[in-house]
Structures are given as structure tokens and as C-alpha cells.
Amino acid sequence: MKLSMPRFDQAPVLVVGDVMLDRYWHGGTSRISPEAPVPVVKVEQIEDRPGGAANVALNIAALGAPAALVGVTGEDEACQSLTDSLAAAGVQAHFQRIEHQPTIVKLRVMSRHQQLLRMDFEEAFETDADALLKDVERLLAGVKVLVLSDYGKGALKNHQALIQAARRRGIPVLADPKGKDFKIYRGASLITPNLGEFEVIVGRCADEADLVAKGAELMRSLELDALLVTRGEHGMTLLRPDQAALHLPARAREVFDVTGAGDTVISTLAAALAAGAELPQAVALANLAASIVVAKLGTACVSAPELRRAIQREEGSGRGTMTVEQLLTVVEDARAQGEKIVFTNGCFDILHAGHVTYLEQARAQGDRLIVAVNDDASVSRLKGPGRPINTVDRRMAVLAGLEAVDWVVCFSENTPESLLVQVRPDVLVKGGDYGVDQVVGAELVRAWGGDVRILGLVENSSTTAIVEKIRKA
């Protein structure tokens, strides 16, 4: 299955559900309490993160999709922390604030990246279901997918009214279910229980065939369009009526913390569907996103650059020859990781030892090396009749095979100035005996704060000399 990055910026999603604050107290431990056989944590840092439905909305926004959130909170400091964090991430939060009830807070005490204790501060909310429905109906006009993030804390009391409100408008409804009664999700487009939640409803599954059979019956009884069962280290299984089951293996190389993994799955799935992806591709993206988030500590998000890089690794497109559009995408991702971009250009007609040494030196100037190659017509204009010896696709393929080279792109003008403006490299390098001021594009690069560097050439190594030697022979 080929994966690609959807246009998340055109994929508005509305999340409705149980909002909570995940609070972390971090500190070192060096002794045991004299009062009880427990470690003493000297709290040095307090960190707040949106949790529950708020984490789902935050994940959607982290992918670059417009996200709105409807939920229930108290009128307290925890609510203000949530509001500030969500606003900073661009999430439109619409909270029903109940003055006499506290916002749900899950407090985790952490030491050396390990969770020592979790304390939950929560009461089931006395939600005004009619008011919440009105908020949702008002917001549905501007979204493409509705997500019900149900943690069983009381925010969702009228599941059917919410589902029908969306379906009447042709908006798909995804639900992350909880509890022992899945009938409340009847008519949803898709639900995403984990295996434990699924088996509470249908009974223990002896094997995959049993899971598929019981899933098909559940879809029929609940009138679902699809069912996605997340299965931890066994990946996930997508079921659709009258279609073969799609089993996706787990992608995680290292599992550090599974907190919020389900939120990441449904948020990526919702954003991808809202962006127009087909369901199997959206599920595959969600599976890939989950593999990223479980390698992080605590409630965490997957950013668009992280997901794009994972897709590139899956598709084998993280290096090599690229179009200008592809190059700009990977450069953006590299910058998001704090990497320094180095740029060089040339004809590279017959690759020789001088080129290899020069490109190795160029790569050492930063973290990523772009080699821009003149196309055939521009080489002919610059070098004269009979050149290039090798066509541009062959020249690019040879360059892409070098360990020092990350990305190879071609340009048709005599100089790469227009490409430089688009890429805006941190370092422009050139080999030769001329000064920095003679390098094409030097003024442009220095104008945005970049460096221009001249590297030495290997003596007695030139394409022109090789061509002449062959001709004489």
C-alpha cells in the first residue's frame, strides 16, 4: 500500500468528548521516606498537557489540520491551563464550564522518565446535553469529520443525537468507545476499540478468524460502516462489510509509553479522512503515527514533519533524486529537526574522484547535502556541442548513489538562482580557485544569513580532461 502525505490544512475536524488535564510532576529521587517504604521525589518541574478529547484535538492540530473541540470542564485553574495550551496550538475550544465541579485532572509523579504514581481527580459531570448538542450543531457546518472521544466521564450523554446530527449533514462520525454498551454508537461511520474493549463486548477471540467473524457481527448489529480494532504489539485490524479484513502489523521499533496512543490513532485517522484519503490509507497512516507516539514519554503528539519523515522512510523516498516540490518538502522537515542544509550545483557529466572528494567535503559543512544538476539543454549551452556525455537522469542516478549526497534535483536555467531562492540553504558551497563574490547566488544566500564557502579541488581531475583523453585515444 503506497502512502502519501494528505493535505491536512484542508481537513477541518470537530472533536466532542471528555476533556481532561494531564499534569506531570518531575523530579529526582535519592532516598527512601522514613515514614513509609516509598521514594521521596523532589519536584523540580510541573508540566501540563491536554488529555482525553483535548489530546485528540491537539494531535489533529499538530498535523496541521483545523481542529475544534467541544467538552465539559470546571471553572478553575486546570480549565485555564487547558484553554491556554489549546489556544496556543490553534485549537478552537468550546467548553461548557460547570462552576461547582472540578476539571478532570490526572496527576503523574515522574522520576528519571519513569512513572512512580498516578492520582486521578475526577467526578462525573452533570452535562447539559441539549446545550452541548447545540454547540456541536452550530460547528458542524464547517467540518468534514466528527470525532466522539468517549472516556466515560460524563461529557457525552446523547451519543445518538450527535451521531444523527452529523450523518444528516453527510459528515462521517468516528468514535473511540468506552464501557460495556456499544449500542450508544449505533450508526457511527467507524469505531476504534482496542482489543480489550472489543472483547468485553463480543467475548474472547481465539484467533484472527474469530476476531473477524465477531467484528462482522458487531458491525451488522450496530449498523457501522467500518470497525478498527487496535491490538497493541499485534498492530490493528480494519473490518468493513463484505470486504476482506485488513491486518496491519505494529510499526513501533521501541515502545516507551503507550499513554495517548489511541488518541493518536483516531486523530490521524480523522484528519486523513477529512483530507480525502481512502479508509485503508488513512488507517495505515494512523498505524504509522501510533508507532511514533509510543516512543515518546507521556501524553504526546505526532507532528506533520514527523509523520512525513516516517512516510518517506516507508516509501524509501527519504534520499535520492527528487522533484523541486519533493525537495522543498523534505527540506522543511529537515529544518524542523534543526538540521543545517548545504547546497552545491554543477553539471557532473562524468563523475570522477575529484567530484567524490568535493562532495564529501561539502557534506561535512552541514547535516544535509543538496546537489543541483544542470539539465541537458543547459549543459549544452554552457559546455558546447557534444555535451553532456551522460543524460541528466543518468547523472542524477550516479550522484544519488553517493553516501555523501542526500538529495539530487535538476534545474533548467544556466544558474541555480531561482532554486536557491526556493530552498534558502544555510550553506552554499562551490569548488574552484575563484573568490566568494564570484559564486553565483552568493549575495542571495548571505542576504538571508547563510554562509558561502569555497572548497578546494583535487588536482588533475576534470571532466573536460577525461573527455579529451578519450577522444585522443
Residues annotated as catalytic are 263
Identity of residue 332: E
Place of cell 460495556: 180
- φ, ψ for residue 362 (rounded to 5)? -65, -45
Single-letter amino acid, residue 99: E
Exposed e or buried b per residue across 354-382, where buried means at least 16 C-beta atoms within 10 angstroms of its C-beta: bbbbbbebbbebbebbbbbbbbbebbeee
Where does residue 30 rank: exposed (0-12), middle (13-18), buried (19+ CB within 10 A)? exposed
| Separation of alpha carbons 346 and 358, rounded Å | 12
What sections of 13-128 are H helices per DSSP? 53-62, 77-88
Cis peptide before 102 (omega within 30 of 0): no
Interior/surface letters 409-430, b for 16+ CB within 10 angstroms, e for the rest:
bbbeeeebeebbeebbbbbbbb
How far is Cα 68 from Cα 146, in angstroms, rounded to an integer?
10
Strand ranges for 53-133 from DSSP E? 67-74, 92-98, 105-111, 114-121
Q: How far apart are CA 423 and CA 417, in angstroms?
A: 10
Q: How far apart are CA 400 and CA 398, in angstroms?
A: 5
Q: Give the dihedral sign, CA 148/152/154/157.
A: positive
Contacts with 444 (C-beta within 8 Å, 6 or more apart), sequence order: 417, 420, 421
